[in-house]
Structure 1
Amino acid sequence: MKSDLSVTYLTKNCEMKKLKSERHHWWPECVSQHWAADDGTTGWLKPDGSCVRTRPANLGVIGNGHHIKMKRGDEPTPWDQSFERVFDKADSQFPKLITWLEGLEHRPMHDVMELKQRFIAQPCTDDELLRMTECAVSLAVRGPMNREASVALAEHLRGPIESGERNRLIGLNMRNAQRTIADSIGARGKFVVVYSQDKEFIFGDGFFHNVGNAQMAPHSPKLFVPITPNICVLVCRPSGYMVEPRLSTLVANDNEVNLCNDTIQVYSKNAIYFRSQQPIPHESFRCAQHLSYEHPGNPINNLIHSIPGVSARDSSFDHFYNREACSDPV
């Protein structure tokens, strides 16, 4: 009788655990809609230089990307689960975040040459910084770059992995990352909102951050995340910094926007998205790999060390990084 009851329980539990097929967005529609041009479409540039325009709601979709199915095929198990709801908090707060970012004081300073002097300190609350962290981290955690990082070690040791098992490994490594990373950063660190003028930012299936496949709270996290074609956010906690000002704004000139866009091309693999200004694919993007900056003197690190209250970057070991190759980290 006990055995029969156990079988009955497991059978019912399996039925309850069966996951419905869903379209999971790693680029949420409440964000991608801001990248639509006047005709309602967003540009998608591919590594081979081809480009298509499509509705932003069709971009950034992974079918069942946040499901974890523990058995091959469609047969459910009691351990099947979905972590899609983990991102509900970020998705519900993105509209309010974008409205707030658009309303912060910012102005170009053409007559000021020193970058550190162009930052404008902003008043902020813990809740506002928590919202920025939650949303920025969510784009890093569920993005394709982090998905690949979540299974990279297993593929390195074992070689190609069957798609069902590969997706399970990705899901199991990703499911706790949002809370681990976002909660560890919270409202602690330095926060910068970077605005463009005439030149637009681009977005991609990879961007600058160091929190990929984080199983533990990152010690010195840093993320530079395009939110709209005119706004990027920088969230970081340097190894040493003065707490105030916690939040600053900066208006980037066209050359600085180009450097930010170059970074997106380095970190992206299969997709670069843009509103109206189509970028020219660089060699790093044409490699069709998620590359990363190896040299510590890269544009985003230099920006971080220009933030008021952050010390200058130690360049004494830069000579160890004087290597360039498309197949290696940039």
Structure 2
Amino acid sequence: MGTGAMLGGGSKSREHHWWPVGLQKFWADKNGDLAWISPQGKIDRKRVRNRKIAKKAHGHTIFHGQVWETNFEGDFQSVDDAAPQIVETLLGFKPFGLTPSEALHMFRLLFKRDRHLRDTCRFYNLDENTNRKLLLLILSLLIRGPGNRFRYENYPQLVGLPPNENVGKLNMRQAYSLAKRQCETGSLSNRYYVLLHSPWKRFVFGDGQFDWLSQGLNGYRIDGRALMPLTPHLCIYVCTPRSMRVTPNCASFLAPPWMVDEVNEMIQACSKDAIYFMGSQPKLMPAFIEGQFLRHNRPNNYLIDLLDEVAGNTRPLSSLISWTA
């Protein structure tokens, strides 16, 4: 049998996307181009429809010697196909403050000393089907992203061995298989989503994410928190409160510019090679210029604490922000 024979099913394509084209389209300009910037400040643009962005050759192919290979690109097909509709559903969960009466209420809150972020939210209930699909989409983006790929490939260093690309792919496939099984058929533990809408200032997307969720995968539950920009105007935060009511399980609010800046700084700190953006070129942060995948030392900072408070996952508000490679 010739080189490249395949074990199991899956796509025969050698170009595997870690960011689905269906999501990239939300970040394209009026010409259909998507822009990104490197740590050195170099800007590139490509047409989304050409499918040449955020991909890796044989990124989801495990090689077994010189002859056999296992391609698990097809494992992501269903979640990628569903991604655009999931985002459209979330965009339909409008934030509080869009009507004149709601805008007046928000203005009055500025003079209220004991105001809370929850006071500016509109609340929704995600049905079980949407909940499962959304959680799987978030986990799929985290698990196959370059940041986690880098960590998976470096697991052998824990036992004194060099990084291994095939080991990384095996770990990636195992993690996603576990996530898929839990999201599709497992029992759903407490899960709360907070939608940050920003009609004015734009979010960025990176090749690394604020991820304290994918590491919380086990055979029984999915525990942790993550922050994921889905479009330039919508970012989602997911967390696992210790206790919560069955409904609502989703809050939606208008994010002020400082929150968007904070999210973008966190995304830059987690990213290594590329920050994707729409419109004006983002200001590069020192953490991104380092060109490393950094991780937050703690799963919280002031913004995360505020979002946790909305979800009912209350802890003392903190201000410490520390990043490590």
More strand by share: 2
- The TM-score with structure 1 as length reference comes to 0.82
Cα 1:70–1:274 shift into 2, 3 Å: same
For 1:48 and 1:206, locate their aligned partners in 2 and report how far apart those are by CA, in whole Å: 17
Whether the aligned pair in 1 keeps the contact of 2:239 and 2:308 (CA below 8 Å) is no
Distance in 1 (CA, whole Å) between partners of 2:154 and 2:244 is 33
Aligned position for 1:200: 202
Aligned residue runs from structure 1 range 299-318, under 5 A: 299-308=302-311, 310-314=312-316
Which one is further off, 20-29 or 269-278? 20-29
1:232 matched residue in structure 2: 235
Match of 1:53 in 2: 45
Q: How many angstroms apart in 2 are the aligned matches of 1:283 and 1:156?
A: 28
User: In structure 2, how many angstroms separate the alpha carbons of the residues matched to 1:128 and 1:16?
Assistant: 34
1:140 and 2:142 are equivalent in the alignment? yes
SS at match of 1:95: helix
Aligned pair partner of 1:172 in 151, 170, 173: 170
Structure 2 equivalent of residue 4 of structure 1: none
- 8 Å Cα contact 1:221/1:237 also seen in 2: yes
Q: Contact 1:66–1:84 at 8 Å: present in 2 too?
A: yes
Q: 1:32 aligns with which of 6, 24, 28?
A: 24
For 2:237, what is the secondary structure of its paired residue?
A: strand
C-alpha displacement of 1:176: 2.3
Equivalent residue letter for 1:105: K
Using a 3 Å threshold, how does the CA distance of structure 1 residues 244 and 67 change in structure 2: closer, same or farther? same
Deviates more, 1:35-44 or 1:178-187: 178-187
Counterparts of 1:233 and 1:89, CA distance in 2: 21
User: For the residues of structure 2 that align with 1:24 and 1:134, how far apart are their CA atoms?
Assistant: 18
Equivalent in the alignment of 1:117:
119
Matched, 1:249 2:252: yes
Residue 203 of structure 1 contacts residue 274 of structure 1 at CA under 8 Å; is this kept in 2?
A: yes
Q: 1:23 to 1:117 in 2, by over 3 A?
A: same
Q: 2:278 & 2:218 partners in 1: Cα distance?
A: 36
- Residues 16, 59 of structure 1: alpha-carbon distance in 2 compared, 3 angstrom cutoff: closer
Q: Who is 1:7 aligned against? A: none
Secondary structure at the residue paired with 2:87? helix
Indicate yes or no: 2:60 matched with 1:69.
Answer: no
**Cα distance change of structure 1 residues 132 and 300 upon mapping to structure 2, 3 Å threshold:** farther
Q: Tell me which amino acid in the other structure corresponds to 1:304.
A: L
Q: Among the aligned pairs, what percent are the same residue?
A: 26
Q: Per-residue deviation at 1:39?
A: 2.7
The AA in structure 2 aligned to 1:87 is F
| 3-state DSSP of counterpart to 1:265 | helix
> SS in structure 2 opposite 1:87?
helix
Q: Give the distance between the partners of 1:182 and 1:245, measured in 2 at CA.
A: 24
Kept in 1, the 8 Å contact 2:213–2:223? The answer is: no
Unaligned runs of 5+ in 2: 98-102, 111-115
Contact 1:180/1:215 (<8 A) preserved: yes
Distance (whole Å) between structure 2 residues aligned to residue 215 and residue 97 of structure 1: 22
Q: What SS is found at the alignment partner of 2:81?
A: helix
**Which ranges in structure 1 are unaligned for 5 or more consecutive residues?**
1-10
Indicate the SS of the match to 2:266. Answer: helix
- Counterpart of 1:104? 93
Matched pairs, number: 303
**What is the aligned partner in structure 2 of residue 209 from structure 1?**
211
Deviates more, 1:119-128 or 1:217-226: 217-226
Partner of 1:24: helix, strand, or coil? Answer: strand
Corresponding letter in the other structure for 1:123? N
1:234, 1:40 → 2: CA distance? 27
* Residue number in structure 2 paired with 1:265: 268
TM-score, reference length from structure 2? 0.83
Q: Does 1:86 align with 2:75?
A: yes
Q: Is the 8 Å Cα contact of residues 149 and 212 (structure 1) preserved in structure 2? A: no
* Separation in 1, partners of 2:244, 2:183: 15
Computed over aligned residues only, the root mean square deviation of the Cα atoms, in angstroms, reads 2.7
